[in-house]
Amino acid sequence: MSKSKIALSFDKLGTAGLFLTALLSPCCFPLFAFVASALGLGSFELFGGWTMWIFQAMVVLSLWGLFLSYRKHKRLPPLMIGICGALCIWYGYHFSQSDYWMYFLYAGMGGLLAATMWNYYANRKCNACQTSPADAASQQSVILQSTLTCPECGQQKNETMPTDACVYFYECERCHAILKPRQGDCCVYCSHGTIKCPPVQIGNNCC
């Protein structure tokens, strides 16, 4: 597995580590005590006094993976859900004075799990995003230059389309409007450009 693929798996590793830490620490996470008992772990505490430090490290690892994925694919919702989940955990553990502070941790874990699953399935569907520049360049019919037209002010800008990512958002230089794909389109180039994006040109499903 390449280094880039390993880096983009941090969110899955972090989230898996998050739930594994909770499962192996039923004293700290009562909700998981039943599952731990079913596995014969009882009140076994694997990490001792390090449990919450390891738990928070897994949160950071999961967030880092979601951020790296966002940088590559520009898919914002999973990252935002992950950030909300991490904030719930941070608030519940460090600031909440309520007797129900543990529920903030559970809600945050659920948020990170949802973000990771969303990211995972979206990346699986994004077969075109896995196309390397060399592969795209080998397609003689692929055109990489497209002129984007802002629907708000009419500003036109010639851009080079990426071959390994989908562009969901584009800011107009003149009026600073944020261009988004229209319903049914995969990216801003397919909606507002003179040329469809490279994956669509070669007949693949885009992000």
Alpha helices in 95-187 (DSSP H): 101-125, 133-138
| CA neighbor of 41 nearest in space, from 17, 57, 22 | 22
Count of residues making up the chain:
207
Residue 42 CB coordination number (10 Å)? 11
pLDDT, tens digit (0-9, with 9 covering 90-100), for 155-197? 999 999 988 778 889 999 999 999 999 988 889 999 999 999 8
- Domain positions in the chain are 3-125, 131-201
pLDDT, tens digit (0-9, with 9 covering 90-100), for 22-73? 766 656 666 666 555 555 555 555 556 677 888 888 888 888 888 888 887 7
Looking at per-residue pLDDT, the higher value among 86 and 10 belongs to 86
Say what the pLDDT of residue 172 is.
94
- 130 token code pair: 């896995």
Q: What is the pTM of this model?
A: 0.51
CB 186 within 8 A of CB 167: no
